[in-house]
Amino acid sequence: MNSQVVTNPEDIARLYRELSLFPSLSRADVGPVVTSQYGGKYSNIYTEWSQRDLDRNENVNFCRQYIVFHDDKSVVYSGASGNCTEIKGELQSKDSPSGDMKAVVRECTIKGEDKQFLEIWSKNIKMKSINLTALKKHGKVYEDDQFGCLVWSHSETHLLYVAERKRPTAKSFFQSESPELSSIGDEEETMRSEEKETVKGEQFVFHEDWGEGLVGKSRPVLCVLDIEGDNVSVLEGVPDNISPGQAFWAPGDTGVVFIGWLHEPFRCGLKFCPNRSSSLYYVDLTGGKCEQLTSGTSAVSSPRLSPDQCRIVYLECAVFGPHMQCSRLCMFDWYTKKTSVVVDVVNRPGEDGFTGIYSSQLSRQCWSADSQRVIVSCPQRSRKDLLMVDISTGSVTSLTSKSDVGSWCLLNIERDLMVVSCSSPNCPPRLRLGFLPPRDSQEELVWVTLEDSQMLPEIDWQILTFTPPPEQDNSEYPGLDFEALLIKPKEVKDGVKLPLIVTPHGGPHSVFVADWFLYSSVLCRMGFAVLMVNYRGSTGYGQDNILSLPGNVGTQDVKDVQFAVESVLKGDEFDMQKVAVSGGSHGGFLACHLIGQYPGFYKACVSRNPVTNLASMIGSTDIPDWCMVEAGFDYTTDCLPDPAVWEQMLNKSPIRYVTQVQTPVLLTLGEDDKRVPSKQGIEYYRALQAKKVPVRLLWYPGNNHSLSKVDAESDGFMNIALWIIQHLWK
Ligand SMILES: CC(=O)N[C@@H](C)C(=O)N[C@@H](C)C(=O)O
């Protein structure tokens, strides 16, 4: 049979290099309004991007600024001001509210030692550079999205950030006193006090951290720099049993509002897990008095203060249960101290098509200028839309559902000027701007493109909907449908049938939105069709859809994927003999299940850090609750191993079907994966070797669950492509 697939490794690498050039947007800040000497008003927009540099083997971050002339509701002229500049060593940065100053947390290596500085810039001068490492008030500054923040006080006199709590230096009982102490030197006094702070016998004490992606982050503390006084203090009053983060200044700078995650009796992984017990707190600056502002019976995140400083919106979901669920958008009234639900959980989408809020994070700025509306970007079925929520009525209006762009992401909104990144499977991220129309107005939202990107006309994509056959309907949650994204080459030569790569997502409560995907676009340019399946249990389709899966993993999700594949194969576009399956994590669990439950159907399988045995994973993962919940059991932190539960977990795992596998398997594993430890993949690898099924294992040191370091990602791609080619054309 004819084929139009690119098989030469050099050509594949060329395509990968070409498409990996497209950068993604990570941040956009809107500066204050400036009135020019001619009376026109303009604002500067600062953007940050990230791009893979295959030659340097790292992701490079760079910034670009734009100037936007506007009146109060439309953009009059916009353009880039200058070229891109690479950002080096900046962990965090933030302009002050007036735009007059900028704060930077910088990391650099001096004489072989890592140091962190907090810099204050004003005009063209670096006014201050405070050596945080030398101050020894705290450990490393947190730069992550989970806890980290760098926030100017409203008065612009103080900065708030999060860092690891200071730990006394531990030394051995057998380490001799520093001989220098006996001689008189400049630093004698400092060394003496440091010596006093060291503790013996604590060198090897285990410090539990917050798991995957948050390694080494254990006891965060809230830190404040008094800029004038050059003084850093660690805020007192935060309860001992919580880890604070996502902090900001309270109205009037009287104190700090933050999220506190309960870290007792032990920490579970937080990344992709917004279902951890947490509350909103306020700590008073003067007396260190700490108040809990929300009930403490749920999981909350992303608190955002309104421009009028009267309300805080935040996301809320249940503790434990599925890791990603439909969230509530809640509000705390600063003056009445009352909380309310603005948008509730959507069990089943209604006539208006709104499927609920699925987001673990609101954009850093999300409020309209009138403090009456909040903009949320989140999955709605297989698209990511911008939703406008009216806080008084709770009504939700999609600002983007009519567009043919698949994914919209809010980077910032300031004085109603929205800055967004939008993309589709055939279009890498673009930077756009648009003014939010006034409340109750019928005005159309007009988007202006600030930075365009090249469309890839060779790539075609569509969203397919599937209704499971009656025997696969879920009796507890009947009538649910699901979707898949089909990405395929636009031009297919006469007589050519396309090979198909089936990709179920991980999670399992996650979703493929019609976004730009590097792997899928390269595979498509090589001549493959890619079917990305949002089986029942995915986010973005209503809470019932999510709840239908726990307890049914290994059956309902597997059958949905197989049903989608077989439905697609009924058309005559695809080659039934050339179907491969590839997935990561829970997607890897599904890939392994599919080759075990449908022996010989798939001609090649690729599995990244797969869950292969829930029963053996529970004792070693950072999310033990996930193993029980997905197997259909409730989780409590004090539950002990139960043979009946373990039996169920084993029975629902791919390892149970390994004896039926005929498909050659490529395993890609990250040595430092805390989420699905590499031993899961190794367990499966050994079982396949014993059965003499072709298997290849790629081992990526220094990589965690995502295998996203530049060399692991590019090497992984080449090996995946070549493995599939090798076994589809055998
Ligand atoms: C909640 C969670 O992390 N589950 C993992 C088993 C998983 O499937 N992760 C997904 C999101 C992945 O692609 O890594």
- Residue 709 backbone dihedrals phi, psi, to 5 degrees: -65, 150
Q: Is the dihedral of CA 568, 569, 571, 573 positive or negative?
A: positive
In whole angstroms, give the CA distance from residue 387 to residue 380.
10
CB 536 within 8 A of CB 556: yes
SS3 content of the chain, % helix, strand, coil (to 5): 20, 35, 45
Residue 159: is it exposed, middle or buried by C-beta count within 10 angstroms (0-12/13-18/19+)?
Answer: buried
Nearest ligand 1 atom to the CA of 507 is: 8
CB 342 within 8 A of CB 376: no
* Ligand 1 contact, 507 CB (< 6 A): yes
CB 730 within 8 A of CB 603: yes
In whole angstroms, give the CA distance from residue 187 to residue 418.
53
553 C-alpha to ligand 1 centroid (Å): 14
Both structure tokens of 649: 């977990």
In whole angstroms, give the CA distance from residue 112 to residue 134.
15
Atom 14 (ligand 1): residue with closest C-alpha? 585
* Ligand 1 contact, 626 CB (< 6 A): yes
CB 521 within 8 A of CB 455: no
* Ligand 1 contact, 276 CB (< 6 A): no
Q: Which of 656, 678, 657, 666 is nearest to 609 (CA)?
A: 678
Strands 498-504 and 231-234 turn out to be unpaired
In whole angstroms, give the CA distance from residue 43 to residue 45.
6
Nearest ligand 1 atom to the CA of 584 is: 13
In whole angstroms, give the CA distance from residue 196 to residue 17.
55
Q: Angle 590-596-598 (CA atoms, 0-180°, nearest 5)?
A: 95
CB 84 within 8 A of CB 99: no
In whole angstroms, give the CA distance from residue 485 to residue 506.
15
Nearest ligand 1 atom to the CA of 323 is: 1
Q: Which of 567, 517, 508, 498 is nearest to 536 (CA)?
A: 508
Report residue 512 CA to chain centroid gap. 13
Q: Tell me the one-letter amino acid at 722.
A: L
In whole angstroms, give the CA distance from residue 240 to residue 255.
18
In whole angstroms, give the CA distance from residue 725 to residue 527.
11
**How confident is the model over 393-402, as pLDDT tens digits?**
999 999 999 9
- Other CB atoms closer than 10 Å to residue 201's CB: what's the count? 10
* Ligand 1 contact, 586 CB (< 6 A): yes
Element holding 640 (H helix, E strand): none
Note the pLDDT of residue 440.
85
Note the pLDDT of residue 566.
98
List CB contacts of 360: < 8 A, sequence separation 6 or more: 272, 274, 301, 302, 315, 324, 327
Cα separations (Å) of 638 from 356, 373, 634, 641? 32, 42, 12, 10
* Ligand 1 contact, 676 CB (< 6 A): yes
Nearest ligand 1 atom to the CA of 510 is: 11
Distance from first CA to last CA of the chain, Å, rounded?
A: 13
Report residue 594 CA to chain centroid gap. 27
Element holding 533 (H helix, E strand): strand 529-534
589 C-alpha to ligand 1 centroid (Å): 10
Cα separations (Å) of 20 from 320, 512, 522, 607? 37, 19, 9, 22
Note the pLDDT of residue 434.
97
Pocket perturbation via mutation, ligand 1, pick of 271, 276, 585 by most ligand atoms within 8 A of CB:
585
In whole angstroms, give the CA distance from residue 607 to residue 684.
11
Atom 2 (ligand 1): residue with closest C-alpha? 507
| % pLDDT > 70, the chain | 97
Pocket perturbation via mutation, ligand 1, pick of 509, 510, 517 by most ligand atoms within 8 A of CB:
510
List CB contacts of 101: < 8 A, sequence separation 6 or more: 95, 120, 121, 122, 127, 152, 156
pLDDT along the chain (730 residues), means of 10: 90 98 98 91 97 98 97 92 96 96 97 96 96 97 97 98 95 77 54 73 95 98 97 97 98 97 98 97 93 96 98 97 98 97 98 95 97 98 98 97 96 98 98 95 93 96 98 98 98 96 98 98 98 98 98 98 98 96 98 98 98 98 98 96 96 98 98 98 98 98 98 98 96
Note the pLDDT of residue 73.
87
Note the pLDDT of residue 631.
98
**How confident is the model over 585-643, as pLDDT tens digits?**
999 999 999 999 999 999 999 999 999 999 999 999 999 999 999 999 999 999 998 99
626 C-alpha to ligand 1 centroid (Å): 10
Both structure tokens of 504: 């179920």
Both structure tokens of 307: 């421009």
Q: Please state the pTM of the whole predicted model.
A: 0.96
665 C-alpha to ligand 1 centroid (Å): 20
In sequence order, the β-bridge partners of residue 281 are 258, 292
Atom 12 (ligand 1): residue with closest C-alpha? 506
* Catalytic residue positions, numbered: 585, 673, 705
Report residue 245 CA to chain centroid gap. 16
ipTM here: 0.98
